[in-house]
């Protein structure tokens, strides 16, 4: 659609100018509606405008506006939670928030996914298996939207004994552990982080985003 702007200087009364202004406003509104998308009724030059046709077009635009509002992505404020940490199938109880943080984890919802920040210091890590960090209570990764062992975030791991600081990738777990994530330690040939990587009073800080079971983008 091409629009041409023409300036016309007419000697009109105040009432005539007001009527013309209203007509131009209505015309611009209708042009804008057509520019945004098809409307039920279109008009041609010289055609008489009918209230029923105008109301139908306005109703269509109102419906589109309502649909856009209802399809907006839901985002919630950040909320703190206490992260559960386990290794070799058992809980690790000596866990505190790293570097003076008030809570070990924070999360918020964005659409169908959860964004999580975790900062943990483990004063006495025991067990030989992979260390797992939990999602907020009752939430689980949606396996239909992602596979197991998928990289979902990044972080760092510090071993206080060796003073080794390592980059890490965050992985979702297998289907039986979809309420947890683990860390893949880049400094030790890509194997999962264990208590040996953390040492005594070691800490892990990381962030990740995963889709959650039962959550949709627009609810």
Please state the domain extents for the chain.
Answer: 14-70, 79-211
Residue 69 CB coordination number (10 Å): 8
Task: Please tell me the CATH code under which domain 79-211 is placed.
Answer: 2.60.90
Distance, CA of 176 to CA of 130 (rounded, Å): 14
Tell me which residue of 111, 82, 110 sits closest to 97, measured CA to CA.
Answer: 82
Asked whether 141 and 212 are in contact (CB, 8 A), the reply is yes
Q: What residue ranges of the chain have pLDDT lower than 50?
A: 1-12, 19-20, 22-24, 26-36
pLDDT of residue 83: 92
pLDDT of residue 186: 61
pLDDT of residue 129: 81
pLDDT of residue 198: 87
Q: Cβ contacts of residue 204 below 8 Å, gap of 6+?
A: 98, 118, 119, 120, 122, 131, 133, 155, 156, 157, 158, 168, 183, 193, 198
pLDDT of residue 72: 63
Distance, CA of 16 to CA of 11 (rounded, Å): 9
- Torsion region of 80: left, alpha or beta (phi above 0 gives left; psi -120 to 50 gives alpha): beta
Residue 218 CB coordination number (10 Å): 10
pLDDT of residue 75: 86
């Amino acid at each position: 659609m091409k629009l041409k702007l023409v300036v016309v200087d007419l000697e009109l009364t105040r009432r005539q100018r007001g009527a013309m202004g209203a007509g131009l406003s209505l015309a611009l509104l209708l042009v804008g509606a057509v520019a945004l998308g098809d409307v039920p009724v279109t008009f041609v030059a010289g055609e008489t405008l009918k209230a029923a046709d105008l109301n139908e077009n306005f109703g269509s635009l109102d419906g589109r506006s309502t649909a856009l509002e209802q399809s907006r992505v839901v985002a919630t404020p950040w909320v703190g939670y206490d992260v559960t940490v386990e290794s070799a199938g058992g809980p690790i109880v000596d866990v505190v928030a790293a570097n003076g943080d008030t809570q070990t984890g924070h999360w918020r919802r964005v659409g169908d996914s959860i964004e999580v920040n975790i900062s943990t210091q483990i004063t006495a890590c025991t067990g030989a298996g992979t260390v797992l960090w939990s999602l907020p209570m009752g939430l689980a990764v949606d396996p239909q939207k992602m596979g197991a062992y998928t990289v979902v975030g990044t972080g760092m791991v510090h071993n206080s004994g060796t003073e080794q600081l390592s980059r890490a990738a965050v992985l979702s777990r297998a289907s039986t552990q979809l309420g947890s994530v683990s860390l893949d330690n880049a400094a030790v040939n890509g194997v999962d982080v264990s208590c040996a990587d953390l040492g005594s009073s070691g800490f892990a800080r990381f962030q990740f985003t995963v889709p959650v079971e039962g959550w949709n983008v627009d609810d």
